Amino acid sequence: MDLQTVKYDKTEGIATITLSRPEKRNPLSPQVFRELDVCLDDADKDKTIAAVIITGGDKVFCAGMDIAEMQTFKKEDTFEFWNSGYNLVFEKIYNFRVPTIAAVSGYALAGGFDLSISCDFRVVSETARFGQLEVDVHLSPGIDRLWRLVGLSRAKYLGMTCEIINAQEAYRIGLADKLVKVEDLQKEARALAAKFVAKPRESLEKTKNSYINVINMDHKAAINWETLLLVHLFDSDERKRIMDKFLNKGR
Residues in CB range of 29: below 8 A, 6 or more apart:
5, 65, 66, 69
Is 134 catalytic? The answer is: yes
Check: CB of residue 51 under 8 Å from CB of residue 13.
Answer: yes
Q: How far apart are the first and last CA of the chain?
A: 52
| Residue among 12, 23, 80, 134 flagged as catalytic | 134
Catalytic annotation, residues: 134
